[in-house]
């Protein structure tokens, strides 16, 4: 199996065998309150070396490459309307729009516009001028609006901050996640942010290094227990995936040259031979 397949199975096994099972209630804005069980572990973390171990895309079940790549491109564009490019590739954010078809907490918008500064541009400018800087922190969490309230929203950021460092001539990204649905969210989030890492590395003229993922609350919902058991049975003899980006991919995405998105999707898809999907894995709550 790939290195990430092994890491992922280890996470699932640890939660299923050691996780604390609790009854939780969820009521997102505009929805009925629902009760469910979760098995959860606090403070779960892993790291993987993209250059050495390959791109961390789960092969134990099929992950939608097209949607994952397009979502990251949409983030880089700084948009918060799915109709703006994203919906042509995936409808994953449609459930979180307001009546104006706006995702108010879209990650890319938060990174590029929400706080009155373009964090991604400042990150790139900083690391071009001072590669050894330890100040490469990008936030999606707005303490004036998010969390700390019983008033529910459709969504608040889950991966709420990431830090980029260039160490040893390679770009490393550490993703901090407040809450992660391990069966559904983790494989998608890891691949997406690892792709962002590769794009930033290319833009800065260095190789991608270690991707790190830290979860404050790593959980599996009771409706996903059978899927988790199935994942633990699976083995896949899959070669490591190496992402080869077209020249100036980050810049071309910013400039909305959509053909670069299609080229990245093709590069990954041509190498990707996942096992069959597991039915019934649906979003429960955030």
Domains of the chain: 43-217+241-271 (3.30.572.10)
Helix axis angle, 259-271 to 65-77, nearest 10°: 150
Query: CA 228, 229, 231, 235: dihedral to nearest 10 degrees?
Result: 160
Q: Which structure tokens are listed for 275?
A: 């096992």
pLDDT for residue 224: 97
Cα separation, 183 vs 36, whole angstroms: 15
Cα separation, 161 vs 138, whole angstroms: 6
Cα separation, 196 vs 57, whole angstroms: 13
Contact 139, 178 (CB under 8 A): no
Q: Which pLDDT tens digits describe the chain residue by residue (286 residues)?
A: 999 999 999 999 999 999 999 998 665 444 555 688 999 999 999 999 999 999 999 999 999 999 999 999 999 999 999 999 999 999 999 999 999 999 999 999 999 999 999 999 999 999 999 999 999 999 999 999 999 988 877 789 999 999 999 999 999 999 999 999 999 999 999 999 999 999 999 999 999 999 999 999 999 999 999 999 999 999 999 999 999 999 999 999 999 999 999 999 999 999 999 999 998 788 775 5
Catalytic center residues? 158
Tokens 């290195």 identify what position?
3
pLDDT for residue 3: 98
pLDDT for residue 27: 52
pLDDT for residue 29: 44
pLDDT for residue 282: 81
pTM of the predicted protein model = 0.95
Query: What does the H/E/C string look like for 94-129?
Result: HHHCCCCCCCCCCHHHHHHHHCCCCHHHHHHHHHHH
Query: What does the H/E/C string look like for the chain?
Result: CCHHHHHHHHHHHHHHHHCEEEEEEECCCCCCCEEEEEEEEEEEEEEEEHHHHCCCCCCCCCCCHHHHHHHHHHHHHCCCCCCCCHHHCCCCCHHHCCCCCCCCCCHHHHHHHHCCCCHHHHHHHHHHHCCCCCCCEEECCCCCCCCCCCCCCCCCCCEEEEEEEEECCEEEEEEEEEEEECCCHHHHHHHHHHHHHHHHHHHCCCEEEEEEEEEEEEEEEHHHHHHHHHHHHCCCCCCCCCCCCCCCHHHHHHCCCCHHHHHHHHHHHHHCCCCCCCCCCCCCCC
Among residues 198, 274, 210, the alpha carbon closest in space to that of 239 is found at 274
Cα separation, 120 vs 128, whole angstroms: 12
pLDDT for residue 284: 78
Helix axis angle, 3-18 to 225-233, nearest 10°: 130
């Amino acid at each position: 199996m790939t290195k990430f397949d092994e890491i992922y199975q280890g996470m699932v096994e640890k939660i299923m065998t050691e996780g604390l099972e609790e009854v939780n209630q969820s009521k997102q804005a505009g929805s009925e309150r629902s009760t469910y069980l979760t098995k959860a572990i606090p403070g779960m973390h892993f790291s993987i070396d993209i250059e050495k171990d390959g791109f961390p895309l789960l092969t134990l079940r099929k992950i939608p490459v097209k949607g994952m790549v397009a979502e990251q491109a949409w983030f880089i564009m700084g948009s918060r309307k799915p109709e703006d490019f994203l919906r042509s590739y995936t409808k994953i954010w449609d459930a979180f729009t307001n009546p104006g078809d706006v995702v108010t907490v879209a990650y890319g918008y938060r990174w590029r516009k929400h706080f009155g500064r373009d964090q991604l541009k400042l990150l790139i400018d900083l690391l071009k001028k001072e590669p050894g800087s330890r100040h490469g922190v990008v936030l999606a969490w707005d303490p004036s609006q998010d969390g700390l309230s019983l008033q529910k929203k459709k969504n608040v950021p889950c991966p709420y901050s990431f830090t980029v460092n260039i160490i040893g001539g390679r770009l490393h990204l550490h993703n901090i996640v407040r809450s992660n649905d391990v069966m559904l969210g983790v494989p998608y989030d890891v691949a997406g942010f690892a792709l962002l890492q590769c794009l930033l590395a290319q833009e800065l003229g260095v190789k991608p290094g270690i991707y790190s993922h830290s979860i404050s609350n790593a959980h599996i919902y009771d409706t996903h227990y059978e899927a988790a058991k199935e994942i633990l049975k699976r083995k896949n003899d899959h070669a490591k995936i190496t992402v080869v980006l077209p020249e100036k991919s980050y810049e071309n995405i910013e400039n909305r040259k959509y053909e670069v998105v299609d080229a990245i999707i093709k590069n990954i898809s041509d190498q990707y031979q996942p096992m069959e999907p597991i039915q019934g894995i649906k979003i429960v709550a955030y």
